[in-house]
Structure 1
Amino acid sequence: MSRYQLRIGVCDLVLPFETDPSFRERIEGVHHAFSRSPLVFGDDTVVHTGDSLEEGYERSLDYFADWNGEVTGVTCYNDLVALEVMKGLRERSLSVPDDVSIIGFDDLKLLDYFPILLTTIQVPKYEMGRRATKLLLDQIDSGTDGSAEQIELNAELVVRSSTAPPSEKR
């Protein structure tokens, strides 16, 4: 996701939920993407949003209060946070993607009904559920507590109208 934004020339800002177990992995992924670019990944690249949508909205309002055009993209924890950020940008009279590109995570079908289609990460929800069910049934059948097993599934970037290269921006 961040590699895509870097490839189109977007300076990225990350809005994570610190309470999510994948928080560190997502930040490390963004850091890795930045390490392959001329851009610097600093402490100010991550804007901590707490664990509520309202905090994501409020933090985006605060962050973009004195927007100077330097940050041209935001990677959000999920699609709902992306909607809150878009709301905050609209209240600051900033346009998505003309001023700031937005990427979410989850590919919520509900977002197909919004005027700006969100670029997002599509996760294989059905496959996640199928594998979790299989692990649980195997654990029940074996009569053991089971050990934690980490399974990685591929996610897919779905590019829509909420992102644009800076050359296409004002």
Structure 2
Amino acid sequence: MPPKYRLIADEIKNEIVSGKYAASKELPTEYMLVDEYAASRQTIRRALAQLVDEGMISRRQGSGTQILRRTGENEDGNRLSVAIVTTYISDYIFPSILREAENVLSGHNCTLSIFATQNEISNERRVLKQLLDSPVDGVLVEGTKTALPNPNQDLYRQLISKGIPLVFIHGNYANLPEALSVLDDNENGGRMLVDHLRKKGHRNIAGVFKSDDIQGPLRYEGYTQALCDADININDKCIAWYNTETKGDLLSGGFASYFDYILEECTAVICFNDEIAGYVVGYFREKGVAIPEDIAVVSFDNSWYSEYAPVRITSLSHGEYNAGRSAAELLIRLLNGEVCQSEKLPWILMEKESS
């Protein structure tokens, strides 16, 4: 349970957001807060110090405690408007990411607009133009085909030049280093899965990666570096690449010859995410292949796919971290004028029956 001063700080913050002190623009005195929360004066001071650090209040000797700005308001006193732009809304892990981001932003009194690009450049451009025509106070965005040169960076730069904070989630653009991001630790994730499989005795390890989103090349980089560090030869024929346009082919049997090949040459396969891993497990099971006895399957994201596959899939998890929540919290800090840095979310291995 959080310490009492944090609980009190959160309660005061909620009251500020609700507008309870809008008329006076001041908080009650320390003595009044001591009585209201049945807490010591020291506890109240620690709670107020936390709110000062968050940029919500200002304390000056003889001037009381001033409310600088209700979280979720812009300089005109209106509710902050935040756009969330993701590749998808209802697919795979996106409902969880959006839900966590919405919870944070709504909790800070922001109004939200949600857009999906379907990972298509033309859709991304249309959305960015809309945001420039109807300005917002902040943008939480998952880039489109982030492993490829992006023709929409001119529009991102226009948003940045207008002083609109951007936070990228999952993938960012190398040519926009000034924009902050919350990313998976993809390279280290690839290493972790190889290390896990090596501990199980595997050396011939295949890999299936996505080529047009930056997570794919980074996970591949970690995978290949780990193999090289272990003095294991890399067999290019055991590595498959797909992209947004060919994903449907993969999931409908179009990569059957590849999977049949690695079944003969490899004892394990690393998949780009749980959706792909779930298909791979199902494909092998239909052919009578025992998992993990004949071939082990591991993956990223620890989503519901990993739990409800025919064999529960060993997968990397972010544990208590959620990319949507972390990115939204970072955006709120930027909107409050704080100096912030990009973040990488660490992975935790969740070992299950597939390895």
Q: TM-score, normalised by structure 2?
A: 0.41
Contact 2:317/2:350, CA 8 A, preserved across alignment: yes
What's the counterpart of residue 200 of structure 2?
Answer: 8
What's the counterpart of residue 73 of structure 1?
Answer: 268
Question: CA 1:115 to 1:43, structure 2 compared with 1: closer, same or farther past 3 Å?
Answer: closer
Structure of greater relative contact order (alpha carbons < 8 Å, 6+ residues apart):
1
What's the counterpart of residue 75 of structure 2?
Answer: none
Asked whether 1:25 is paired with 2:233, we answer: no
Distance 1:104 1:46 in 2: 14
Using the TM superposition, give the Cα deviation of residue 95 of structure 1 relative to its aligned residue in structure 2, in angstroms.
2.1
What's the counterpart of residue 325 of structure 2?
Answer: 130
Counterparts in 2 of 1:144-163, with a 5 A limit? Answer: 149-163=341-355
What's the counterpart of residue 259 of structure 2?
Answer: 64
Contact 2:271/2:277, CA 8 A, preserved across alignment: yes
Asked whether 1:55 is paired with 2:249, we answer: yes
Contact 1:124/1:153, CA 8 A, preserved across alignment: no
Question: CA 1:125 to 1:44, structure 2 compared with 1: closer, same or farther past 3 Å?
Answer: farther
Give the partner amino acid of 2:237. Answer: D
Contact 2:274/2:305, CA 8 A, preserved across alignment: no
* Bigger Rg, structure 1 or 2: 2
Give the partner amino acid of 1:157. Answer: L
Distance 1:120 1:49 in 2: 20
Using the TM superposition, give the Cα deviation of residue 120 of structure 1 relative to its aligned residue in structure 2, in angstroms.
0.6
Give the partner amino acid of 1:99. Answer: D
Q: Secondary structure at the match of 1:103?
A: strand
Distance 2:223 2:345 in 1: 18
Distance 2:249 2:276 in 1: 9
Q: 1:119 pairs with 314, 325, 328, which one?
A: 314
How large is the RMSD of aligned CA atoms in angstroms?
Answer: 2.6
Q: Secondary structure at the match of 1:88?
A: helix
Give the partner amino acid of 1:152. Answer: K
Give the partner amino acid of 1:56. Answer: L
Using the TM superposition, give the Cα deviation of residue 76 of structure 1 relative to its aligned residue in structure 2, in angstroms.
0.5
Distance 1:95 1:87 in 2: 11
Contact 2:210/2:241, CA 8 A, preserved across alignment: yes
Gaps of 5+ in 2: 1-192
Using the TM superposition, give the Cα deviation of residue 60 of structure 1 relative to its aligned residue in structure 2, in angstroms.
4.5
Q: TM-score, normalised by structure 1?
A: 0.79
Q: Secondary structure at the match of 1:69?
A: helix
Q: How many residues align?
A: 160
Question: CA 1:23 to 1:112, structure 2 compared with 1: closer, same or farther past 3 Å?
Answer: closer
Q: 2:277 pairs with 82, 85, 99, which one?
A: 82
- Identity score, percent: 22
Distance 2:262 2:344 in 1: 37
Contact 2:313/2:354, CA 8 A, preserved across alignment: yes
- Structure with bigger strand share is 2
Q: Deviations over 1:46-95 (max 9, x none)?
A: 21122365333335422133566321111001111001111221233322
